[in-house]
Structure 1
Amino acid sequence: MSNIVNTVWIGKQLGPVHAACLRSFLRNDYDVVLHAFGMPEDAPEGVRLFDASKLMSVQEVEIFREANRLAFASDIYRYRIQRESLGLYVDCDVYCLKPFFEDEYVFGWESSKLICNAVLKIPSGSHLLKNILKASEDIYFIPPWIPSRKRNKMALRKKLGFPVHVADQAWGVIGPQLLTHHVREMNLTNHASSIDAFYNLHFECTGLLYEPGLSVRDLATSRSSFLHLCNSRLKPSGVPAGSPMHEILNA
């Protein structure tokens, strides 16, 4: 097991859930490297800062911020972490239950159809990463998995000088959809961890985090190393005592 975990944050404050997630990795003896444009004010003690401007310019970030698609910038950034061979990447809303014993490829199913990139490690010289980098760095990327009629229309627009920016495309187009497409294309699904390794908490079940009488372990299995909390689905306040979220925030 490598003890380094990389994560990225764009902003001045992590917020209580993200800070709690970083603390969970510190408790499990990970060296937590936070890629940011300056250390967030509420970053837990022990987190190391990596200057994100070394891998992504502020101008790049602003393009996606203006489109309200910062997640796209995060997608691109995590692939650059892999390009630089910096180690395992996790989203800031991933909670660590126990250390994960890494292989050269780390990613997992979040459903029967989709491999998520919230937990990610890909060899820097692999064809998989080269293909993903090529697609994610093309701001006018045309997804090969969409219907041919739509692909042809996008290609024509691109040829005529009116391309469709990725920020105006569907969620996950350079995230889970892109990763899943290339993993399947290259017959690498055998490297994908089972759903319960990282994604046992389905995004429609995040309400369970606020159920008194449940613990964090109740939401996982014996094979679960991490728990993706799906932060975009979480309630901003009103955390009941004795609930999994109360446990997470106070650990």
Structure 2
Amino acid sequence: MSNRRPVASLWIGEKLHYLNQLCLKSHVLAGHPTTLYCTDKVDNAPEGVEVRPASEIMDLDMQLVADTSASFLSNVFRYKMIQKTGAIWIDCDAFCHKPFPDDLEYIFGVHGLLGALNCGVVALPQECELMDQLLDYYDNLPDYPPWWNKNQRRKYDRLDEKMSHGARIYKAERTAFGPQAFTYFAKQTGQFEKAMERDVLYPVPFQLNDIFYDPYGNVEGHFTENTLSVHLYTNGTKPWWEKHVPMPGSYAARMCDQIGIDPSKALK
């Protein structure tokens, strides 16, 4: 199984939460060579995960991360990583339900309830127009993202001019560097039609993310035979679940038992 397609992610910080450990190890157990690029020394990565310095892919502006969030620069990093290594990008909160097929050149999909794309799991050809347009957007930020309306531009204009241009865009629209950009450029390049249906990569809408911690929540009711990945949306997790072990019988608890992760050892 070690000849499955490689997957990789980025971690900014020193400690993984148990849900991140769970998701990374799920890919290892599915047979995917799994690399975690890190900005700091991380000593609680699961067995089987190869930890490498993020600087192998690109230098990260940690001040910009401090002004925005840990996920901000991952939106640039993921495409540079794919371009350099050919690995499939996985967010650290994407659980591997089934291995990724070898014959899929493009892997990305619809999420949520509105039909936009997410970029939590992405595979692209290392050379393609979509990749080029995404990287050009990040490397040469326009005055405003081209899809913004007047209200979004006004929101940007009201922000402190002392902040960097990228930070102001992020503060105005947090997803302007993630799902918004990916959706826009996929449409511009004609790749939007390659998007997988929601059940493949994001079977549970992010609006319902508490269901992962509910022992009476029927998480698997959202799955189909096509489901490959289950996004746990840790950015939307309520603080309680970050600091406490999941309730017995919940999806999070059951998957930890199945994969071999002890939540009590990696809480915030």
Is residue 179 from structure 1 mapped to residue 186 from structure 2 by the alignment? no
Give CA-to-partner distance per residue, 1:185-224, whole Å, 9 cap, x none. 2221221111011111111212211222556534422211
Look up the equivalent residue of 2:182 and give its one-letter code. Answer: L
Question: What corresponds to 2:48 in structure 1?
Answer: 46
Structure-2 change in CA distance of 1:162 and 1:70 (3 Å): closer
Give CA-to-partner distance per residue, 1:172-191, whole Å, 9 cap, x none. 11111001001112221221
Q: Alignment length, in residue pairs?
A: 246
Alignment of 1:14-163 (within 5 A): 14-58=16-60, 60-65=61-66, 67-101=67-101, 102-111=103-112, 112-139=114-141, 142-147=144-149
* SS of alignment partner, residue 89 of structure 1: strand
Distance 2:246 2:123 in 1: 33
Look up the equivalent residue of 1:110 and give its one-letter code. Answer: H
| Aligned residues of 1:5 and 1:32 also touching (Cα < 8 A) | yes
Distance 2:174 2:118 in 1: 12
Q: State the 1:242 CA deviation.
A: 1.2
Structure-2 change in CA distance of 1:213 and 1:86 (3 Å): same
Pairing partner for 1:247 from 240, 245, 254: 254
| Aligned residues of 1:140 and 1:164 also touching (Cα < 8 A) | no
Q: State the 1:39 CA deviation.
A: 4.6
Structure-2 change in CA distance of 1:217 and 1:149 (3 Å): closer
Look up the equivalent residue of 1:94 and give its one-letter code. Answer: A
* SS of alignment partner, residue 45 of structure 2: coil
| Aligned residues of 2:86 and 2:126 also touching (Cα < 8 A) | no
- Kindly, what percent of the aligned residue pairs are identical? 23
| Aligned residues of 2:36 and 2:51 also touching (Cα < 8 A) | yes
| Aligned residues of 1:144 and 1:151 also touching (Cα < 8 A) | no
| Aligned residues of 1:214 and 1:242 also touching (Cα < 8 A) | no
Distance 1:22 1:41 in 2: 14
RMSD (Å), alpha carbons: 2.7
Question: What corresponds to 2:223 in structure 1?
Answer: 220
Distance 2:181 2:151 in 1: 19
Distance 1:51 1:69 in 2: 19
Distance 2:18 2:163 in 1: 42
Structure-2 change in CA distance of 1:147 and 1:46 (3 Å): same
| Aligned residues of 1:200 and 1:224 also touching (Cα < 8 A) | yes
Distance 1:74 1:184 in 2: 21
What stretches of structure 2 of length at least 5 have no aligned partner? Answer: 259-268
Give CA-to-partner distance per residue, 1:64-118, whole Å, 9 cap, x none. 22x1322111111101112214310000000011112152211100144310000
Q: TM-score, normalised by structure 1?
A: 0.87
Look up the equivalent residue of 1:77 and give its one-letter code. Answer: F
Q: TM-score, normalised by structure 2?
A: 0.82
Structure-2 change in CA distance of 1:32 and 1:150 (3 Å): closer
Question: What corresponds to 2:265 in structure 1?
Answer: none
| Aligned residues of 1:108 and 1:116 also touching (Cα < 8 A) | yes
What stretches of structure 1 of length at least 5 have no aligned partner? Answer: none
| Aligned residues of 2:5 and 2:100 also touching (Cα < 8 A) | no
| Aligned residues of 1:36 and 1:50 also touching (Cα < 8 A) | yes
Question: What corresponds to 2:171 in structure 1?
Answer: 168
* SS of alignment partner, residue 52 of structure 2: strand
